[in-house]
Homo-oligomer: A and B are copies of this chain.
Amino acid sequence: MKKEKSTAEPHGKEKDIFNLNISVDCTIFGFHSGSLKVLLCKPSAGEKWMLPGGLITRDEIPDETARRILKAKTGLSDTYLKQFSFFGRKDKKKGEKENPEILSEISLAYFALIKSGDAQLVEDNDSEHIEWFEINNISDLHPEHKIIFETALSSLRKQIGFIPIGYELLPEKFTMPELRSIYEAILGRELDRRNFQRKMLSIGFIKALNETRKVGAHKSPNLYSFDKKKYEEAERLGIQLMSNNL
Contact = CB atoms under 8 A, between A and B. Distances in A.
A13 interface: no
25 contacts: A18-B21, A18-B104, A19-B19, A19-B22, A22-B106, A56-B104, A58-B94, A58-B103, A58-B104, A59-B90, A59-B94, A59-B103, A60-B104, A61-B88, A62-B88, A63-B88, A86-B86, A154-B238, A155-B238, A157-B238, A240-B243, A240-B244, A240-B245, A243-B243, A243-B245
Nearest to A90: B61
Query: Is the contact region of chain A dominated by helix, strand, or loop, or is it mixed?
Result: loop
Contacts of A239: 244-245
Nearest to A203: B245
A86 B63 CA distance: 10
A89 interface: yes
A158 B154 contact: no
Contacts of A18: 21, 103-104
A13 to B, nearest CB: 14
Interface in A226-246: 237-240, 242-245
A18 to B, nearest CB: 5
A85 interface: yes
Interface residues of A, number: 38
- Minimum-distance CB pairs A-B, first 8: A243-B243, A61-B88, A154-B238, A58-B103, A62-B88, A157-B238, A240-B244, A18-B104
Interface in A65-93: 83, 85-86, 88-90
Contacts of A161: 240, 243
Contacts of A62: 86, 88, 106
A108 interface: yes
A158 to B, nearest CB: 5
A71 B240 CA distance: 33
A104 B242 contact: no
A103 B108 CA distance: 17
A114 B56 CA distance: 35
A231 to B, nearest CB: 14
